[in-house]
Amino acid sequence: MVSNRIIHSLCKSSDCLRKIGARFLDIYVAGGDLSSALQIFDNLPSGIRNVSCWNILLSGFSRMKRNDTVINLFSRMIREDVNPDEFTFSEVLQACSDNKAAFCFWGVQQIHALIMRYGLGLQLVVSNRLIDLYSKNGFVNSAKRVFEDMVVRDSSSWVAMLSGFCKNNREEDAILLYKDMRKFGVIPTPYVFSSVISASTKIEAFNLGEQLHASIYKWGFLSNVFVSNALVTLYSRCGYLTLAEQVFVEMPQKDGVTYNSLISGLSLKGFSDKALQLFEKMQLSSLKPDCVTIASLLGACASLGALQKGRQLHSYATKAGLCSDNIIEGSLLDLYVKCSDIETAHKFFLGSQMQNIVLWNVMLVGYGQMGDLDESFQIFSQMQFKGLQPNQYTYPSILRTCTSVGALYLGEQIHSQVFKTGFWQNVYVCSVLIDMYAKHEKLDAAEKIFWRLNEEDVVSWTSMIAGYAQHDFFVEALKLFRKMQDRGIRSDNIGFASAISACAGIQALDQGRQIHAQSVVSGYSLDHSIGNALIFLYARCGRKQDAYAAFDKIDTKDIISWNGLVSGFAQSGFCEEALKVFSRLHGDGAEANMFTYGSAVSAAANTTNIKQGKQIHVRIIKTGYNAETEASNVLITLYAKCGSLVDARKEFLEMQNKNDVSWNAMITGYSQHGRGNEAIKLFEEMRHLGVKPNHVTYLGVLSACSHVGLVDKGLCYFNSMSKDYGLTPNLEHYASVVDILGRAGHLQRAMKFLETMPIEPDAMIWRTLLSASIVHKNIEIGEEAGHRLLELEPQDSATYVLLSNLYAVLGRWDSRNQTRLLMKDRGIKKEPGRSWIEVKNTIHAFFVGDRLHPLANHIHDFVEELNKRVVMIGYVQDNNSLWNDLELGQKDPTAYIHSEKLAIAFGLLSLPEMIPIRVMKNLRVCSDCHNWIKCVSKVADRALVVRDAYRFHHFADGTCSCNDFW
């Protein structure tokens, strides 16, 4: 150690002493002996210690990362009135940048003030360090002001400012600064490129990333591992995995970050198999994955259901000591939950860091997926008992479980907690609440939450639109969809699918096409849910070719795709097409669900195809759906519509769990078959068992009273709707009362009832009254009803036909002819009568006087034979209600044989005696045909079932189930 006396002996003057002291300081600092350097420095006279000596000492301690000492020396230097220079501040700013404590001691503003005080604010090295210090501590705007005040900038200045923007999540500013940098001709460094690419990745500016890639290629920086890693991350996050893999393959050197970036990108975009394969290559390269990579791989295993591979990764994470990481814990628990290994998930959960709320949320999701509400609620309660507050992901998890299991009461309780804890304005939580209330048909509650939201979030709008569409509020759904677009909110795929489904509900084909076009423009041309909605739209609107085209465009067809065709065609009247699709569905190996069977049974019912209906029934039994209440309900309707009331009753009696739909189907079936007393008896039994009747129930029982002429009982039931059950009658119920009174001949009472209705009568009510006026030959009320009908539905052919029939039965031929002439002048054509009968798996259709059937001559000859036989037992042909004497003399009788007569004759010729003859007609059977069929059932000794547009008629031994009251 050189003493102070030796130094003084070597120097005769203070200038020499200053030089020698500085030399010795430099030697000891360079050698790393900072203690000796500090001792020499302290022994120098204060007048000898100039700024150079201080700087030498500061640089030494700075190099050794002795930042606290640097700050203390700087403070001492200021106290001793030594003026610092730019080198001094450079070292001090570096020390503050590396040491948060040092930064807090001084404060960046104090240091900046000293810099300005000593006139060093424009020094390049000082400004650069100042920008860096401000940026690292979050004062990026202050850094920006320093940068803008600089007269001269070097590449370090630009890099420091660009780095500051990136570190403080100011990606747009970083990109703009890069563009300015290039305008000023500053050559970018690899660090600049990696920073700007990272900024582009965060804001998903893919086009800019591509341009930067070209510049990187131009400057020859592709070999730089940091730049290439940034490119791999950019392409992976933006979904351009082919480009990411290309950059990866061309990299001369790869590190852990390279593999981690591509593995994460592949996992994120659903390429789980590739992610796992790349991980195996990474291990062969002796590179270790980080926590993010392991978490990504566990996510890939979860999405693939690869539980065994996930267990291996769990073992790897345990050996590497990574299992305590929060991200790894969450991913492991998510793996076991998604792979339905709830037992292992629960064990892992109990052994994890219980203070991590993410884990509690994952457990809530796991038990929710299993539909275990009790366990979900227990987890929810325990979490709060341990002092963990639910967050914006906790509430949606438990609320979704409440929604899926139908526990609305519990969901409402959690809603009140949401309100108390301040999450009532959280968009994510509110969107799940809207979905819960909407799915439980509590649309008023859903609307209150929706309109209270301040933030216009697409998920909440979509949830509300979907809620309207699911509960048949199609107009409201489309209005809200339009309002969403007017506010500039871009719809997602669920919103488009719901809007298209709403269009299908009201058969708004043109509007559906427009929304389809919008979805394509928005990038959803291949979306599966939209494709399924389009199938149903076109099928429901009767556009067979368009429906099949939409169906064929879907690569992976699920049962919803098939159901769209089956249910759509069934509802649009293409029932035979629906049944063809149903047969094709099974041929293609698709597995039908309850909705499929329900639609197919409805199609069979509407075509009265009891044979195919029974085949579908057999399938339902084989698949186990026969235990479902909904299955039995549609089967009751099938057999009732096909005229087999015995089978319908059998299905009803064998049901384990009956709901209101079951009782309604059976009551309606009895009513349609003229079994009014049985319908009323079943209705009373229903009420006795405490099953609450609804609007459909009352329609069935009122129709039953109408068909058997129970006037007083029918009126009593009508009054009980509102009195006993609080049900408000609708137009169909009022029409049923008018029908009850009209059929019984109480036309004046029917007219008075109609005049006192609280709602305006519609065409159905006036048509009912007109039909009754024809039966009872009441010209005054009939004309009033006919004229009202012409005002309401001037294009409906049935009105003109009924009115002309009224005049015909009263012999007012001039008035009848004027009505028909008016009909002709308006270009309105009467719907032709048509009847169908199935013989040997083939549907045979007949029109009036039909001569097109291959056996037409044989059929007409047989009708003549039947006519002779029925005349012998008292049948008298009644055409006077349709033609006058002159017309009767001019017409060929065989040309006007009604279609049901031809169908019945063909059935008698073709079907064995043990098979009942079932005929379906599109119009109401006339009185002449009704009498004829009664007589035929006696002379042929056959049971005949005719289903017309109003009801079933069961003919046997010369009588009809309607008792001539229809």
Q: How far apart are CA 328 and CA 356, in angstroms?
A: 12
Nearest to 158 by CA among 146, 172, 147, 169: 147
Question: Residue 305 in contact with residue 299, Cβ under 8 Å?
Answer: no
Cβ neighbours around 711 below 10 Å, total: 17
Q: How far apart are CA 74 and CA 813, in angstroms?
A: 122
Nearest to 741 by CA among 779, 775, 769: 769
Helix (H/G/I), strand (E/B), else coil: 847: strand
Cα angle 359-363-365, degrees, rounded to a multiple of 5: 115
What pLDDT score was predicted for residue 12?
41
Phi first, then psi: what are they for 859, rounded to 5°? -65, -45
Cα angle 697-701-702, degrees, rounded to a multiple of 5: 115
What pLDDT score was predicted for residue 15?
52
Tokens of 540: 């429901």
Cβ neighbours around 284 below 10 Å, total: 7
What pLDDT score was predicted for residue 474?
94
Q: How far is CA 827 from CA 25, 96, 821, 831, in A?
A: 116, 94, 10, 13
pLDDT tens for 43-91 read 766 666 777 777 777 777 777 777 777 777 777 777 777 788 778 777 7
Question: Residue 504 in contact with residue 534, Cβ under 8 Å?
Answer: no
Tokens of 947: 């289903």
| Strand (E) or helix (H) holding 945 | strand 944-947
Sorted by sequence, the CB contacts under 8 Å of residue 787 that are 6+ apart come out as none
Which residue type sits at 645? L
What pLDDT score was predicted for residue 427?
87
Helix (H/G/I), strand (E/B), else coil: 837: strand
Residues in the chain: 966
Neighbouring-strand partners of residue 921: 835
Phi first, then psi: what are they for 54, rounded to 5°? -60, -40
Q: How far apart are CA 801 and CA 830, in angstroms?
A: 7
Please identify which residue in the block is written with the tokens 């604010």: 121
> In the chain, which stretches have pLDDT less than 70?
1-26, 28-29, 31, 40, 44-48, 98-108, 353-354, 879-895, 966
Q: How far apart are CA 254 and CA 247, in angstroms?
A: 11
**DSSP 8-state code for residue 374:** H
Q: How far apart are CA 249 and CA 246, in angstroms?
A: 5
Cβ neighbours around 335 below 10 Å, total: 30
Nearest to 147 by CA among 113, 98, 181: 181
Please identify which residue in the block is written with the tokens 């699920």: 558
| Residue 842: exposure state from Cβ atoms within 10 A (0-12, 13-18, ≥19) | exposed
Q: How far apart are CA 488 and CA 509, in angstroms?
A: 24
Question: Residue 402 in contact with residue 437, Cβ under 8 Å?
Answer: no
CA 79 to chain centre: 71
- Strand 959-960 vs strand 842-847: parallel, antiparallel, or unpaired? unpaired
What pLDDT score was predicted for residue 71?
75
Q: How far is CA 484 from CA 479, 491, 492, 749, 787, in A?
A: 9, 8, 11, 51, 45
Q: How far apart are CA 915 and CA 188, in angstroms?
A: 92
Q: What is the b/e burial string over 35-73, where b = at least 16 CB atoms within 10 angstroms of the residue's CB?
A: ebbbebbeebeeebbeebbbbbbbbbbbeeebbebbbeb
CA 606 to chain centre: 31
What pLDDT score was predicted for residue 100?
54
Tokens of 130: 């100042």
Concatenating the DSSP letter of every residue in 205-233 gives -HHHHHHHHHHHHHHT-TT-HHHHHHHHH
Q: Is the dihedral of CA 571, 575, 578, 579 positive or negative?
A: positive
Helix (H/G/I), strand (E/B), else coil: 289: coil
Question: Residue 477 in contact with residue 499, Cβ under 8 Å?
Answer: yes
